[in-house]
Amino acid sequence: MSRRIIPGLEAPDAELERAVRARLDEVEAALEKAVRADSDMLARTSSYLLKAGGKRFRPMLVLLSGYFGDPTDPRLIAGSAAIELVHQATLYHDDVIDEADARHGVPAANVRWNNTVAILTGDYLFARASEISTDLGTDICALLARTIATLCDGQIREVEAAGRVDQTEDAYMEIIRRKTGALIATSCRLGGMLSDAPAEDVDVLEEFGEALGLAFQLSDDIMDVTATERELEKEPGQDLREGVFTLPVLHALNRGPDGDELRALLASGRAESDGLARSLEIVRAAEGLAHARAAVVAEVDRAQALVRRLQQGTASFALDQLAEYLAARCDARAGVRGLKK
């Protein structure tokens, strides 16, 4: 197994950084054990994306949240592995739904094998996550089950909204709250619960995770429009090609000066081919990017306000800096300052 070291995601305290990295190594070992299977093929497919790498962002949040209780509780390792397995399962299913070609720099599982294999592998990973959670208590099982249900609800909403130029911004925000925010919120809540943090801190951690998750997704949406192929490790405009109209796109559609032209391009499906460059040009020129950056800043500010309600120390400072990193990666604060001028 492997995970990527992402500049900007290091803990701001050297001792905390070493401790979290050591525990993430334990999580990697737990993941390797969890994806073993009697079938040689299932063993290959279930470890495929894990071996390709990943930031292990959600396990890191479980471990950091554990610092508001007992950060050495061994249940945090199992909980981190369960969360990552749920996340990995959604990637297998998402790639089938999106007809994706690649993931983490390797061919997507549905391309490497086929849709059936990818779907069944995702199902297997959901099952393994559920099995791990049974050793952590009925409250953890219930939390994980509710989260998976919420993720499915968010995915169904996204499928229903695909290609619809009449989608509202509020509807889109609800989709990402369920599809992205929910799992990150659960990661933080899980860390608090498994470390026996005070109940009020557990609730604050969950709220923090939701705000962080929304900022994470919104920053991804901005980068899909603005970043280069090298930065994204995929072609820009992937969401547009797949009929997923994100916040900057919806704002350009409804309030931009070239909204009618963009609507015609998207409604005709030309954003999948010759019209993609023009569609991206319209979105980049409109105020939709500034609007999305303002939304990122709002969620980052909300997350940081929640951190101030927690016991202050190296872990709370790390969570605060992590939220700020999400604003920095898409130049959100610079964009908002430019909007105010």
Q: Which of 113, 270, 78 is nearest to 193 (CA)?
A: 78
Helix H or strand E encompassing 112: helix 109-112
Angle between the N-to-C axes of helices 247-255 and 288-307, in degrees from 0 to 180, rounded to the nearest 10:
140
What domains are there in the chain, each with its CATH number?
13-163 (1.10.600.10), 198-341 (1.10.600.10)
User: What token pair was written down for 2?
Assistant: 């492997």
Taking the model in full, what pTM does it have?
Answer: 0.91
Q: Provide the 10 A C-beta neighbour count for residue 207.
A: 17
Quick one: CA dihedral 238, 241, 243, 247, positive or negative?
positive
- Burial (CB < 10 A; 0-12, 13-18, 19+), residue 118, is buried
* CA-to-CA dists, residue 271 to 6, 37, 234, 262, 308, angstroms: 31, 41, 16, 9, 43
pLDDT digit string (tens) for the chain, length 341 residues:
555 555 555 667 889 999 999 999 999 999 999 999 999 999 999 999 999 888 899 999 999 999 999 999 999 999 999 999 999 999 999 999 988 888 887 899 999 999 999 999 999 999 999 999 999 999 999 999 999 999 999 999 999 999 899 999 999 999 999 999 999 999 999 999 999 999 999 999 999 999 999 999 999 999 999 876 566 566 778 888 888 999 999 999 999 899 999 999 888 765 666 688 889 999 998 888 999 999 999 999 999 999 999 999 999 999 999 999 999 989 898 855 544 44
